[in-house]
Amino acid sequence: MDLYIQKSGPFSAKERGATHRAPAFTAKSQVLQRALAMVASFSIILSSNPVHAGILSGFSGLESIPGPQLPQFDFLTRFNEENQKKYAEQDARFKSTTVLKELLERSKLNKQRNQQEIQDKYCIRGAEWGVGDCSTQGMTSEDRETFIATLKAKSTAK
């Protein structure tokens, strides 16, 4: 494909007999152009400085500077100590009440009962599907039905 320079006018350059060709990029110049682009990209990536937060970056703030020592009032410290003693006594009294002990005991029993119900439910499901610890594989159909019925009766009896 020949590339000719076209000048303005009624006739093209080819018609006028012009043989001047436009400069086409050679393979060497294309390789050089790509290499320069890669070098520029790598230099930007490798030499980029970390972003700073501004003028105060690295400054830990006013919170790190200790403030002036405030005056201590004896009546306030005594009041605070008395309140702490009252709260400790009330906590100890509450922890030793029978209501709290009963609630904690019921909570433990409910937790154990709920865990057992979940285990029974999954055991029945495993027996029906023939998988897991309660699998009924190898049983006759009559034994399988009685086993599943026993599991269901056991779980509903609780």
How confident is the model over 56-87, as pLDDT tens digits? 566 666 667 787 888 889 999 999 999 999 99
**Residue 58: per-residue pLDDT:** 62
Place of tokens 């060497």: 28
- Which residue did the predictor score with more confidence, 67 or 20? 67
What number of CA atoms fall less than 13 Å from residue 68's CA on the CB side? 2
Determine the residue type at 129: W
pLDDT classification of 117: cutoffs 50, 70, 90: very high
Q: Are 21 and 3 in contact (CB under 8 A)?
A: yes
Q: Please determine, for residue 1, whether its predicted confidence score (pLDDT) is greater than 50.
A: no
- In angstroms, the CA 93 to CA 113 distance is 30
CA distance 152 to 134: 12
Q: Domain limits of the chain?
A: 114-158
* Mean pLDDT, the chain, integer: 81
